[in-house]
Amino acid sequence: MCAFAPGMLSHANAHLNFAVQFLIPWIVFWTLRLREEGRSLKNGTALGLLVVWQMFIGAEILTYTALATALFVIVWALLRRRLAAPLVRPFLRGLGVALLVSGVLLAYPIWVQFRGQYSYAGLGDKVVGFANDLLSFAAAPTTYSGPYPPWALNIAEQNAQFGLGMMVLGVVLALWLRRSDVVAAAVVVGVVFAALSLGRQILVGGSPSGIPGPWALVGKLPVLDHIPSSRLSLVCIPVLGLLVAAAIERLQHRRGWQKVAGTIAIVVALLPWVPLSKPVEQRAAAPAFFTSGDWEDHLRRGATVVPVPVPSPQDIDAYRWQVAVDFDIVLPGGYFLYPGDDGTGHWGAAARPTETLLLQVQQGVPVAITEQDRANARTDLAHWQADAVVLPVTEVRAPQLAEALTALLGQRPTRIDDVLYWGMAPDGLP
């Protein structure tokens, strides 16, 4: 249920660091084992090493796991104070060992992350609106069916699309199993993280409600300012899984209509989660200039190729050219977080003037090439350390782009296979 939850499969469409979570159950398991008397060194070391491993798979998922597990432990300890009291000391000793082990091994990587050359101070305004709509929790997961509603973030960020049936079932099971301290603590975790995922202002049906969300209180704290609040609702997946597992276990001891009705209710609520075939689109193949190996007759290994249009976080198809040649060429730009002028994280490098001009041509905007545009092109090509400019003949408005590039570069291209090719001189100029 948890492995094939809507949030997991939607992220698997784009974010492999979210789909690869095989360490998370073990991190939770060893965290709970910290309470064992006389095993602080063993348990703490195991947890610390797992944390280090997960840090290099996905720091964001590790953060959610740490916050959720900490809240669970605290709530459970408050609910079972007598039972928890003698466990506090061994737990804290084991936790200290885990922090020491992971802290020593991760000190430098964490310094690079938050204080290194390319570090940034949070995600700024880009992340403010990246929150779950209140209605999205009852929306059906659209990874499997139908167009997603207008308030859904995108096809890869279905963080809260659990479906109305699952939401109703979750509430019913939480009430039915409320006497279990484990269930009660898990439900608190689920409710808190669901509320935090609503962001700084609660949205209802795509419209701002004017009601501040809980994230407004904590979203600017260090580390948390690097987190898109919408993804916090992913914590609800294991919480719902725990509720269903506990309910199935209890139903084994019931007979008659209660067992049948409970089983049917669980099956019906889970039906929308059953993974079916996912909608796909056929992408255009990488240019034959690269897939055939002909590029090696014109470019050295490690050469910088400027695709047209220049790739950006909105258009990353050209990066498949690198895959086709086993990363033997370099492309400008990229899809990554980079510190902007305001110190916060921005997706991709800032657009160069030539990149902006060519994008206008691709969009059908009439452009008259000026001497300033030509000067900008020379500066940008030098900045990119370009060895060649390549335009696939199948690109949208390829003739207009070729005309603009010819005016910018002062030379006509060479047709090679299915691309138009402008080679650069050793000084980086056409």
Residue 429 resides in a domain: no
Read off the pLDDT band of 144 (50, 70, 90).
low
- pLDDT value of residue 317: 86
Residue 151 predicted with pLDDT over 70: no
One domain, residues 300 and 247? no
22 touches 28 (CB < 8 A): no
pLDDT value of residue 403: 94
Across all residues in the chain, what is the average pLDDT? 90
Quickly tell me which residue has 């200039």 as its tokens: 289
**H or E, element range at 281:** none
Does the pLDDT value for residue 146 go beyond 70?
A: no
Residues 143, 253: one domain? yes
**Residue % of the chain over a pLDDT of 90:** 63
Are residues 122 and 182 located together in one domain of the fold?
A: yes
**Cα-based distances in Å from 88 to 73, 94, 301, 307:** 11, 10, 59, 59
What are phi and psi for residue 325, nearest 5 degrees? -110, 20
pLDDT bin (cut points 50, 70, 90) of residue 428 is: very low
Number of domain units in the chain: 2
Q: Are residues 246 and 320 in the same domain?
A: no
CA distance 242 to 404: 60
Q: Could you tell me if 418 and 289 are in contact, meaning their C-beta atoms sit under 8 angstroms apart? A: yes
Report, as an integer, the average pLDDT of 307-323: 88
Whether 80 maps to a domain, the answer reads yes
> Per-residue confidence at 425, pLDDT binned at 50, 70, 90?
low
User: What's the pLDDT at 249?
Assistant: 93
From the list 295, 324, 316, the residue with the least C-alpha distance to 387 is 295
Among 241, 273, 305, give the residue marking a domain's end. 273
Q: What is the mean pLDDT of residues 264-273?
A: 90
Of the candidates 222, 225, 236, the residue with the CA atom closest to the CA atom of residue 200 = 225
Q: Are residues 264 and 299 in the same domain?
A: no
Q: What is the pLDDT of residues 93-136, one digit of tens each?
A: 999 999 999 999 999 999 998 889 888 888 866 666 689 999 99
**Would residue 41 count as lying in a domain?**
yes
> What is the pLDDT at residue 126?
64
For residue 150, the model assigns a pLDDT of 62
Q: Own/partner pairs for 209-217, CB < 8 Å, 24+ apart?
A: 209/134, 213/131, 215/131
Q: Closest Cα to residue 6, out of 151, 130, 160?
A: 160
Q: Which of 219, 241, 273 is the last residue of a domain?
A: 273
**Rounded mean pLDDT, 368-373:** 93
> Contact 279/209 with Cβ under 8 angstroms?
no
Query: Does 371 map to a domain?
Result: yes
The percentage of the chain sitting over the pLDDT mark of 70, rounded to a whole number, equals 94
The answer to whether residue 366 sits within a structural domain is yes
Beta-carbon count within 10 A of 83 CB: 12
pLDDT, tens only, 185-209: 999 999 999 999 999 889 898 888 8
Domain ranges, residue 316: 288-423
